[in-house]
A and B are shown apart, each in its own frame.
Chain A
Amino acid sequence: MSHLLEVNHLKINFKTYGGEVKAVRDVSFHVDKGEVLAIVGESGSGKSVTVQSIMGLIPTPPGIIKGGSIRFQGKELLRRPKKELRKVKGSKIGMIFQDPMTSLNPTMRVGKQIEEGLIIHQRLSKSEAKKRAIEMIKLVGIPNPEERYNQYPHEFSGGMRQRAMIAIALACNPELLIADEPTTALDVTIQAQVLELMKQIQEETKTSIILITHDLGVVAETAQRVIVMYGGMMVESGTVFDIFENPKHPYTWGLLNSIPNIDEEEKKQLEPIDGSPPDLFAPPKGCPFAPRCKYAMEVCLEEMPSEYEIDGGHVAKCWLNDPRAPKEEELVALGREEW
């Protein structure tokens, strides 16, 4: 079965004055139809760069696509001419950005911004496009759509703007929606509303979604599959169940341990992951997480772990999963701290 989107061995560097930053180092994943895939990881782990490259939004220069392929509906996107790529952008793949405050053009009416895609991709007339834009405004739960259509972004609240962004992204009924931290810049209550909206729309339209977030709570609620990224690489991937119930990478353990739990009986200190992310100018030759990992072994610093398939589709890139490696319990018994 062919996947809706298939990313293989993607490598992206950025040229800076300090040298080349290896932002994405060999990332592969796929998205199927109707699926919600979450990509989690801390800032600088390469999540945004990965998804922006799908849309051809990485400015080159300074960005350099070092290799790999991105296939959407079986067709390669990476080396496609700009003009061809534009037919996919906005029509078959929609994108929502992190900061709704700056992602809308301040001098253009919101309705017009929703219409733009419709007019170029679906060749709708002005009146048809307006009708559809008003429908979209209604769909994303903004009251008084006719009135809102004529307003400017500064007349919208943050949550409303993100709804308007969703309307823009979904206007042409895309097959795939890329949401790059859609709720990070919003209030907690608004976050929940926007997520609820995305979930509801996903259920209605069966649009596939790539959801980037660093909020694991969001992942648990919305996604079916999860990719954990660290240092420009994918360290673990699997179903939500795999990742939350049977995580196999110490970084994932660390992430899970740093979520506050309201149901916890006894008060527990939240556990941060000590240290800082690797220097991507000169990434370590071994596992990028090794310097921060409580279970790091000699091999971790020396050699990049290969991908270990735990069971169908659950993959972790960690030496601990090697049959030769000691079990975590043994390491703890040997004096290592427990996650």
Chain B
Amino acid sequence: MYIVKRFLTMLLTIWVIASLTFVIMKFIPGDPFASDADVLPEEVVENMRAKYNLDEPIPIQYVLYIKNLAMFDLGPSIQSETRTVNDIIASGFPASATLGLQSLLIAIVFGLLLGIIAALYHNRFLDYVSMVIAIVGISVPSFILAPLLINYFSVKWGLLPVASWGSFQHSILPTLALATTPLAVVARFMRSSMLDVMNQNYIKTADAKGLSSFKIVLKHGIRNAILPVVSFIGPLFVSLITGTFVIEKIFAIPGIGKYFVDSIFNRDYPVIMGTTVFFSVILVFTLFLIDISYRLIDPRIKLTSKGD
């Protein structure tokens, strides 16, 4: 069975990522208590290292880490003593996920729309308009767009809250700031894919049947053109729900991005590993879903491996 096989590969991938993270992290110079070692007595530091198993030889540390991971226990955070990594993810992820999903939705819906319009009006005014929007979207980074949005919508016009998190209104500006670049990328992808499809012979066949241009695009164009875009949505999705650090920072959103970056500065090993593994699980799982959705979009793609 392809799906079972694919699922097992997925687990393997996660294990490889977890192990790599572990190895790479061990290469980061210093350890979480490097700065404390100057001021604290040696015994205290020793004790702290023991608490987090850092006194064990590295192979043992690795085994313990994988063992806990298998039980979904990402361990305690070093920086904040009262919280586990699981707690941190549980508290930060909902905001990041909401923000990410909203942005993804906007990026896909409007990106596809823009791309389709551009393709249908190829080399005409609407095409140029769409592509100017796309190029601006790609070239203006979110950290520039975000303050601009805040300046106009919140400060000047007073329509939306400046920052922080809570109601839907709070999420509008960060969602827009986050969605612009992926929207532009989706639009460009869709445009070229759609242009290609609209030149295919089966579009001529559809035309010869007497279908209206709208129906041709809807029933024969989009489904065939969307495949390259779908393959791009997986990594996009993950980067949106994880790579929001800048936006979270600007809008003071209690998301997961902040912890991720802080943990690296603090050498908070369990948090680094925990968040990395968490992200990769999401990525791998999303890719798994996308593989399945290929089959739904394109019947030529079979959910069987070669041997079956």
A interface footprint on B206-226 (CB within 8 Å = 1, 0 otherwise): 111111110100011001100
Classify the interface of chain B: helix, strand, loop or mixed: helix
Query: Residue A102 at the B interface, CB < 8 A?
Result: yes
**Tier of interface size on chain A:** 20 to 34
Classify the interface of chain A: helix, strand, loop or mixed: mixed
**Could you tell me if B298 and A116 are in contact, using CB atoms closer than 8 angstroms?**
no
**Could you tell me if B201 and A107 are in contact, using CB atoms closer than 8 angstroms?**
no
**Tier of interface size on chain B:** 20 to 34
Residues from chain A with a CB closer than 8 A to the CB of B206 are 105, 116
Q: How many A-B residue pairs have CB under 8 A?
A: 77
Tell me, rounded to whole Å, the shortest Cβ–Cβ distance linking A108 to chain B: 7
Tell me, rounded to whole Å, the shortest Cβ–Cβ distance linking A115 to chain B: 10
Residues from chain B with a CB closer than 8 A to the CB of A251 are none
**Could you tell me if B202 and A103 are in contact, using CB atoms closer than 8 angstroms?**
yes
Residues from chain B with a CB closer than 8 A to the CB of A108 are 219-220, 223
Residues from chain A with a CB closer than 8 A to the CB of B215 are 120
Query: Residue A210 at the B interface, CB < 8 A?
Result: no
Query: Which residue on chain A has the smallest CB distance to residue B302?
Result: A154
Query: Residue A99 at the B interface, CB < 8 A?
Result: yes
The B-contacting residues of A in range 291-334, CB under 8 angstroms, are none
Query: Of A86, A102, A152, which one neighbours B202 at CB under 8 angstroms?
Result: A102
Query: Which residue on chain B has the smallest CB distance to residue A169?
Result: B208
Query: Residue B204 at the A interface, CB < 8 A?
Result: yes
**Could you tell me if B224 and A105 are in contact, using CB atoms closer than 8 angstroms?**
yes
Residues from chain B with a CB closer than 8 A to the CB of A97 are 201, 204-205, 208
Given the contacts A102-B200, A106-B224, A89 and B208 also touching, CB distance less than 8 Å: yes
Query: Which residue on chain A has the smallest CB distance to residue B200?
Result: A102
Given the contacts A152-B300, A154-B299, A107 and B210 also touching, CB distance less than 8 Å: no
Q: How far is the CA of A119 from the CA of B211 in the complex (A)?
A: 10
**Could you tell me if A106 and B300 are in contact, using CB atoms closer than 8 angstroms?**
yes
Given the contacts A99-B201, A102-B201, A57 and B210 also touching, CB distance less than 8 Å: no
Residues from chain B with a CB closer than 8 A to the CB of A39 are none
Tell me, rounded to whole Å, the shortest Cβ–Cβ distance linking B195 to chain A: 13
Known contacts A99-B201, A152-B299, A152-B300; 4 further A-B pairs (Cβ under 8 A): A94-B208, A95-B205, A103-B204, A154-B300
B contacts, CB < 8 Å to A: 200-202, 204-213, 215, 219-220, 223-224, 297-300
A contacts, CB < 8 Å to B: 55, 57, 82-83, 86-91, 94-95, 97, 99, 102-108, 113, 116-117, 120-121, 152, 154, 165, 168-169
Q: Which 3 pairs show the lowest CB-CB distances between chains A and B?
A: A90-B210, A89-B210, A90-B209
